[in-house]
Amino acid sequence: MSDPLSLDASNPRLSFSRLLGIDVPQITTSEPRILVVDDKQDLLDSLHELVSLHGYRADKALGGKAAMKALRKSAYEVVLLDLIMPDVSGHDILDFAARENLSAKIIVVSGDASFSGVKHALHCGAFDFVKKPYSAGELVATIKNALRQVELEVRKSQIEQELTHSESLHKFLVHQSPDLVFMLDKKGRFTFLNDRLESMLGYQRSELLGKHYTELVDEGHFDAARHVFQERRSAERAITSIEMKVKNRLRRKGSKFLSEPTSWMEFNTEGIYLNPDERTPENFVGTFGTGRDVSERKEHEEKINFQAYHDLLTEMPNRTLLKDRLDMAIAQAKRNRQALAVMFLDLDRFKLVNDTLGHTVGDRLLKAVSKRLKNCIRDGDTLARFGGDEFAVLLPEVKTRDDVAVVCNKVLDNLNSPFKVDSHELFVGASIGISMYPEAGDSGEALIQNADIAMYHVKARGKNGFEFFSEEMNHEFSTRLILERELRTAISEEQLVVHYQPQVSLETGAITGVEALVRWQHPIRGLVQPTEFLPVAEDTGLIIKIDEYVQHRAFADVAQWHKAGLGDIQVCVNVSPAQLEQENFASRFESILGAAGIRPELVKLEITENVLMRDLEIVIPKLNRMRSLGVRIAVDDFGTGYSSLSYLQRFPINTLKIDKSFVHDIRADQGDASIINAIVAMARGLNLDLIAEGVENRTQMRYLRSQGCKQAQGYLFSRPLPAAGITNLIRDNRFSDLVGHAGLVTVG
């Protein structure tokens, strides 16, 4: 029996030609031809007759010369040869046959029965010898014998041909196979590897032959490898399939997710047993197998898997993965009676960046932020991006609130310094809400939700800080829902009122216009300021109705003042992003304006800077339509966004309103180096009016005027008042003294 571990062509299991049904050319032995040779005509005839009688096709050759001629011409299986002939003898024919390598079996039929003659004839290649006078039975038996020999030889050469053919074929197939083909001995050492090894994995065959398979298999997959390469002796199925990583010498192009030089391979293996019917350990001699490179598919799968659990922008875990880990951490904390914390983090001012500088800058900022955040946490913590500018951190190993506070302070500190994105210097803060297990909830869901609620509280208290969740917060949160419901009632039952704040000329003290500001006359709580209910109105879209109501009311009041003989009072109305974004904004606004019947020149829209930057192609035409009616446009809270001079030039605006935060920063000893100087220069360059808002004292007023700002609004002149209060102010024209007096002190 052949060695089961070598690739043996005679091993029927591997006889690929048979498996594939490939035909090897056959030599036919169906109609044997016999040549009868004698120099005596009568003997020749009788011999021929005898042979023919037994059903063989026979030719006659009278003498040696004729025999040679016949043998040259055609192939015979058997020759009956007379030895003693004149001129060309039987011996000569035997020599000729040997020389020409004829395959014919030559049976010598001769009266020369001397030992030396026979010996010589057999020596010269005769197949057998029949003595004259022959018996017919003996002669025919000898012919049959010779023919069987011929047949055997033909079959043998046929098989030989078949074997060489199938061996080269299977060698070809094995080596050309797109798969790695290999054999291991019973100890797991390679005894065969096909040519694919080199092109697939970059090894020379000699490097691995005789070596254990662990030379090839990646450390992480030894267990899986042992299962298919060694411990499959008792397995029921003959072929086992498994995927594992192997060390690859070739670094594949474009492999992103598997940066280390390994390949994923799918192996199909079959144990080899001395007796295939007895798959016992004693019978086990090794393993035969094939391996296919499935790295591409694996990478694809890994990518899809990665995408399901990660945020693609920052490559950080996503909500799903955090949730999984949180559930696990809770289970562990429960067992060990330990605490854990969830931080919910929302960036302050991110929306502004995204809206004004675009998504590309926004995305880069988010990446930079996540990098800094990562530096603030430890290995066992999980930092996840929840989408937008929301992040969550799981701290599974904290013990006390102080531990969490340390992390929060670190995060806030880290975010404090500006981010440089492209040419921009961006400032972001963060509002962090924290929920701790077990006091703030015992499920992942509850902890995340409560951390989120705590975060809202930080936002409401002025942002950039952190707070721990408490039950009271939950109560307040539910009041948000109540607030929304009540606000809907407020709109339908007209509980909203409009107050007006005068805008004053810093040169004459005259009231140049008023800003309409909404308030809520709540049946129980009294007058509610817009900062308390506008965030909910914005979240729910109710803001559009509110804006339209305020505009309707304000235009009616302006018409009223005109009727009362107070002259033309200009009114500024705030336009929320949601209102401006409405597709039919312009036509709705026109109809509100038309209903009041006032001149459009008396109306000024206040639009915040970041809204302008949002969607130029959509915003600009809307504003142009407003301008063509005669309506004016002011940029509210100017200086808090990121708009540049070139940007502003593209909008049809009339006025910049200096944000009150800059006014608030004005100090008595201030020189010229303030943001206000820059804004004033900008307004001058763009030929725009300026109004300063939030002016609370004379220092501020003087400084603004000294810089060339000609109008102002603020508590120094008046708080926002109901329409009746404004009527009185306009009648009295009370501010000329205030302005004139101040003017005497500073100017001149």
Residues near ligand C2E, by CB under 6 A = 501, 517-518, 529-531, 534, 543, 547, 550, 574, 576, 606, 636-637, 660, 693-696, 714-715, 720
State the residue for tokens 């939030």: 694
694 binds, among Ca ion, ligand C2E, none (CB under 5 to 8 A by kind): ligand C2E
Q: How far is the CB of 408 from ligand C2E (least distance, A)?
A: 29
Q: How far is the CB of 374 from ligand C2E (least distance, A)?
A: 36
Are the CB atoms for 132 and 152 separated by under 8 Å? no
Q: How far is the CB of 691 from ligand C2E (least distance, A)?
A: 11
**What does the DSSP assignment read for 216-239?**
TB-GGGHHHHHHHHTS-TT-SSSE
450 binds, among ligand C2E, Ca ion, none (CB under 5 to 8 A by kind): none
State the residue for tokens 């007006």: 500
For 54, other C-beta atoms within 10 Å of its C-beta total: 13
628 binds, among Ca ion, ligand C2E, none (CB under 5 to 8 A by kind): none
Q: How far is the CB of 578 from ligand C2E (least distance, A)?
A: 8
700 binds, among ligand C2E, Ca ion, none (CB under 5 to 8 A by kind): none
427 binds, among Ca ion, ligand C2E, none (CB under 5 to 8 A by kind): none
287 binds, among Ca ion, ligand C2E, none (CB under 5 to 8 A by kind): none
Residue closer to ligand C2E by CB (options 438, 577) is 577
Q: Can you tell me whether residue 58 is helix, strand or coil?
A: strand
| 482, 488, 493, 497 alpha-carbon torsion, rounded to 10° | 90
534 binds, among Ca ion, ligand C2E, none (CB under 5 to 8 A by kind): ligand C2E
Q: Partners of 108 in the beta sheet?
A: 81, 129
Q: How far is the CB of 317 from ligand C2E (least distance, A)?
A: 37
Are the CB atoms for 690 and 658 separated by under 8 Å? yes
547 is an interface residue for Ca ion by CB under 5 A: no
| Site stretch for Ca ion (CB under 5 A), options 438-446, 586-594, 605-613, 707-715 | 605-613
Residue closer to Ca ion by CB (options 437, 500) is 500
Q: Using the 8-state DSSP alphabet, how is residue 134 labeled?
A: P
| Site stretch for Ca ion (CB under 5 A), options 13-21, 416-424, 606-614, 623-631 | 606-614
Contacts of 192 (CB under 8 A, 6+ apart): 5, 6, 7, 181, 182, 183, 209
609 is an interface residue for Ca ion by CB under 5 A: no
517 binds, among Ca ion, ligand C2E, none (CB under 5 to 8 A by kind): ligand C2E
Q: Can you tell me whether residue 403 is helix, strand or coil?
A: helix
Q: How far is the CB of 533 from ligand C2E (least distance, A)?
A: 10
Residue closer to Ca ion by CB (options 314, 503) is 503
Report the half-sphere exposure of 701 (CA within 13 A, side-chain side).
28
Residue closer to Ca ion by CB (options 467, 637) is 637
Which residues of 64-157 form beta strands (DSSP E)? Answer: 78-81, 105-110, 128-131
For residue 440, give the nearest of 398, 491, 481 by alpha carbon: 398
Reduced DSSP (H G I as helix, E B as strand, rest coil) percent helix, strand, coil of the chain, to 5: 45, 25, 30
Q: Which residue is nearest to Ca ion (CB)?
A: 606
State the residue for tokens 């060695």: 3
548 binds, among ligand C2E, Ca ion, none (CB under 5 to 8 A by kind): none
In angstroms, the CA 693 to CA 691 distance is 6
Residue closer to Ca ion by CB (options 134, 549) is 549
State the residue for tokens 């990562």: 374
Residue closer to ligand C2E by CB (options 189, 545) is 545
| Site pattern 633..662 for Ca ion (x: CB under 5 A) | ---xx-------------------------
Q: How far is the CB of 546 from ligand C2E (least distance, A)?
A: 6
Q: Partners of 477 in the beta sheet?
A: none
715 binds, among Ca ion, ligand C2E, none (CB under 5 to 8 A by kind): ligand C2E
Q: How far is the CB of 482 from ligand C2E (least distance, A)?
A: 21
Are the CB atoms for 465 and 483 separated by under 8 Å? no
Q: How far is the CB of 515 from ligand C2E (least distance, A)?
A: 6
The residue from 574, 579, 610, 707 that contacts Ca ion (CB under 5 A) is 574
H or E element in which residue 707 lies: helix 698-707
In angstroms, the CA 657 to CA 515 distance is 12
Are the CB atoms for 548 and 498 separated by under 8 Å? no
In angstroms, the CA 634 to CA 744 distance is 30
Binding footprint of Ca ion on the chain (CB under 5 A): 574, 606, 636-637
